[in-house]
């Protein structure tokens, strides 16, 4: 897209908790693109701009999800809209439409797979026509997982000549708070299924984002069990229903470089022995409470942990690839902040910059981070966003 537009990036939802963190990150980033803050209230935008220490001349854009004209003007003003305004099921569609029609790139934090499927069906073809690159799930869900598999498989192809047919994603450390936006998104998805029970089959289909491709049966990841390959007990991981679908979509969009027989799952790894089993059972109960209760007692949308709490957080994910030749390959992805806020805000900002700076040749459509950014994004995340990508074998 031409740089003739007024801005490179506009952070929509900059007065919300996560949007504010994205704006704060851009305000302090060396070599930041031309960016602006957007939201419903100019007064709130001015206050947040001053509180985060952004320059006084940082542009402010007033736009509202209920005002189609303001969204069209927003989309036309920038190369990319970075939106944290969710739940996307409730508030996301008009902005996607505006960006698609304007040929404007778009990134979000969506983990709402039913809504994402709806956007693919409704706007994918039109985005391909206008050149808009729409990229969902550019935060903790699902970039560390999507790119973790991408990273491991790239090494497998270099080392073995082909990808690993089976990959296990095992979360070995996660310190932080479930974001209020994630909890609200989970409630919105649950309400959609309650209103139309027929959506449940789509929600539980690991290939529901893979544009009609049907691969082999996948592990459900719903049980506490002993995993001999990971050498310990494993428990359900509450983000797996989102991340696994994005990984399979990446494989489909890239023409199945992981193979059409690719099998992938994600679980918490709690360790060996009786202690590992007890921890897995406790983790399973916690995950069920998060999914069933929508994060009751946690932060509400617009709220979140303190900077000290965000800085104390972190995560690590182990990826174990099993190749058809009998060999095993292991990789690890880590993040240095609370996953739902501190890490997500940095990841989203860098992914959005990568989209406009490093993916100029990518065509319009509805993409995953792994499919459109892939190898280009990893060094940005390592250099600036506090992530590591390491091979362990």
**Lowest model confidence (mean pLDDT) among 31-35, 169-173, 193-197:** 193-197
Task: Count Cβ atoms below 10 Å from residue 334 Cβ, excluding itself.
Answer: 18
Burial (CB count within 10 angstroms: exposed 0-12, middle 13-18, buried 19+), residue 371: buried
- Phi and psi at 82, nearest 5°, equal -110, 105
Flag whether pLDDT at 183 surpasses 90: no
Flag whether pLDDT at 28 surpasses 50: yes
- Phi and psi at 183, nearest 5°, equal -65, -45
Task: Work out the pLDDT band at 393, boundaries 50, 70, 90.
Answer: confident
Q: CB of 343 within 8 A of CB of 313? A: yes
**Lowest model confidence (mean pLDDT) among 56-60, 70-74, 238-242:** 238-242
Alpha helices (H) along 218-295: 240-253, 273-293
E strand or H helix at 82: strand 78-83
**Both structure tokens of 23:** 């704006």
Average pLDDT on 173-182 reads 76
Question: What count of Cα atoms within 13 Å lies in the side-chain half-sphere of residue 237?
Answer: 26
Flag whether pLDDT at 293 surpasses 50: no
**CA neighbor of 317 nearest in space, from 217, 220, 237:** 237
**CA neighbor of 373 nearest in space, from 356, 390, 391, 349:** 356
Q: CB of 199 within 8 A of CB of 115? A: no
**Lowest model confidence (mean pLDDT) among 74-78, 81-85, 283-287, 347-351:** 283-287
pLDDT at residue number 262 = 98
Q: For residues 45 and 41, give the distance between their C-alpha atoms in angstroms, rounded to a whole number.
A: 6
- Kindly give the pairing relationship between strand 365-367 and strand 133-135: parallel
Q: In this predicted model, what pLDDT tens digit does every residue of 364-389 receive, in sequence order? A: 999 999 999 999 999 999 999 999 99
Flag whether pLDDT at 32 surpasses 50: yes
Q: CA Rg, the chain, in Å?
A: 20
pLDDT at residue number 128 = 98
**Both structure tokens of 144:** 């560390």
E strand or H helix at 235: strand 232-236
pLDDT at residue number 200 = 81
- Phi and psi at 298, nearest 5°, equal -85, -175
Average pLDDT on 71-100 reads 97
Concatenate the DSSP letters of all residues of 316-336 into one string: EEEEEEE-TTS-EEEEEEEES
- Phi and psi at 210, nearest 5°, equal -95, 20
pLDDT at residue number 295 = 43
Residues with Cβ within 8 Å of residue 121, at least 6 apart in sequence: none
Q: Which residue has the higher pLDDT, 234 or 194?
A: 234
Average pLDDT on 134-141 reads 97
370 Ramachandran zone, left/alpha/beta (phi>0; psi -120 to 50): alpha
């Amino acid at each position: 897209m031409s740089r003739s537009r007024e801005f490179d990036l506009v952070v929509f939802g900059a007065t919300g908790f996560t949007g504010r963190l994205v704006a704060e990150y851009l305000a302090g980033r060396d070599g930041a693109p031309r960016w602006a803050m957007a939201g419903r209230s100019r007064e709130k935008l001015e206050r947040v701009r001053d509180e985060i220490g952004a320059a006084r001349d940082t542009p402010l854009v007033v736009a509202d999800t209920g005002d189609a004209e303001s969204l069209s003007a927003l989309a036309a003003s920038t190369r990319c809209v970075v939106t944290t305004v969710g739940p996307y099921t409730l508030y996301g569609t008009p902005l996607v439409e505006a960006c698609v029609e304007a040929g404007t790139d778009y990134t979000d934090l969506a983990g709402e797979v039913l809504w994402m499927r709806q956007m693919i069906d409704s706007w994918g073809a039109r985005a391909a026509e206008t050149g808009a690159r729409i990229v969902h799930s550019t935060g903790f869900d699902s970039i560390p997982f999507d790119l973790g598999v991408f990273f491991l498989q790239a090494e497998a192809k270099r080392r073995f000549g082909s990808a690993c047919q089976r990959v296990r994603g095992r979360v070995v450390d996660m310190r932080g708070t479930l974001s209020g936006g994630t909890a609200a998104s989970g409630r919105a998805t649950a309400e959609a299924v309650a209103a139309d029970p027929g959506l449940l089959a789509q929600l539980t289909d690991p290939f529901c984002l893979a544009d009609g491709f049907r691969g082999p049966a996948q592990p459900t990841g719903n049980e506490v069990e002993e995993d001999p390959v990971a050498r310990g007990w494993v428990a359900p991981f509450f983000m797996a229903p989102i991340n696994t679908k994005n990984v399979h979509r990446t494989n489909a969009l890239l023409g199945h470089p992981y193979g059409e027989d690719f099998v992938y799952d994600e679980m918490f790894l709690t360790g060996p022995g009786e202690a590992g089993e007890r921890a897995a059972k406790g983790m399973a109960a916690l995950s069920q409470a998060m999914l069933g209760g929508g994060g009751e007692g946690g932060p509400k949308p617009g709220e979140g942990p303190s900077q000290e709490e965000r800085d104390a957080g972190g995560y690590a994910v182990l990826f174990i690839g099993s190749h058809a030749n009998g060999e095993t390959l292991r990789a690890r992805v880590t993040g240095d902040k609370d996953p739902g806020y501190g890490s997500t805000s940095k990841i989203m900002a860098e992914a959005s910059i990568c989209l406009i700076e490093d993916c100029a040749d990518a065509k319009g459509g509805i993409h995953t981070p792994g499919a459109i950014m892939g190898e280009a994004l990893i060094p940005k995340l390592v250099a600036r966003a506090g992530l590591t990508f390491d091979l362990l074998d």
